[in-house]
Structure 1
Amino acid sequence: MLSEISKTILAEADKRGLDKSTCPSEIARMLFGDKWRKEMGKVRDVAIGLHREGKVVITQKGIPVDVDHIKGPVRIKISQSENRSE
């Protein structure tokens, strides 16, 4: 399931491009339907892993965030090196 979460995050972030971001809850809703809230931790953990790999950037209010000290809602953007929709 984690690879499916990863693929979905990357696909959605890539589709939105460099100027837009996605909320982890959007990914959770796509994959888990009514049970999305229960799975938010997994989605967030996978997003953090992708951030550490340089594939996405996790932001708050449009600013990249230290993923070791996240507090509050975040957004996920494709990293410039991963963007394929240009």
Structure 2
Amino acid sequence: MSDPIEAAILEELAKLGPGKSIEPADVAKELQLEQWQRMLPKVKTTALGLMRQGRLTITKKGKAIDPARMKGVIRLRLPTAEETAAALAARPPAPESDDDLD
């Protein structure tokens, strides 16, 4: 099952094209116009997950930021090839399988 917040973020970015960014509030308003403030923390959490997967870049003043410093006004955009490679390289290795233990 697809996450509706994740889908909304990626759809909004796809509409804009490469190099363009959106505010998390734009996505929250798209999902729940009347109570978008309640949706905003969920949008930011989903964006953080997408960033850790290498599928999204979180920026501040046009520059990619460390997620630990995600504070204040941020924007979301699709990552460059270099940013995707760096995010994937920073992921912890997958646990080894125990298939040979019988």
Sequence identity of aligned pairs in percent?
33
Equivalent in the alignment of 2:70: 70
Question: How far did residue 72 of structure 1 move?
Answer: 0.7
Question: How far did residue 14 of structure 1 move?
Answer: 2.1
Letter in 2 for 1:77: R
In structure 1, the residue corresponding to 2:71 is in which secondary structure? coil
Q: Given the two structures, how large is their TM-score scaled by the length of structure 1?
A: 0.86
Gaps of at least 5 residues in structure 1 are none
Equivalent in the alignment of 1:52: 52
Letter in 1 for 2:13: A
Q: Is the 8 A contact 1:17 1:77 kept in 2?
A: no
Question: How far did residue 70 of structure 1 move?
Answer: 1.2
Report how many residues are paired: 81
Gaps of at least 5 residues in structure 2 are 85-102
Equivalent in the alignment of 1:14: 14
Letter in 2 for 1:15: K
Quick check: which has more Rg, 1 or 2?
Answer: 2
CA RMSD of aligned residues (A): 1.6
The 4+ residue runs of structure 1 with deviation greater than 6 A are none
Q: Is the 8 A contact 1:23 1:75 kept in 2?
A: yes
Q: Which has the higher contact order (CA 8 A, sep 6+)?
A: 1
The CA distance in 1 between the partners of 2:39 and 2:19, in whole Å, is 27
Work out whether 1:37 is the aligned partner of 2:42.
no
Equivalent in the alignment of 1:23: 23
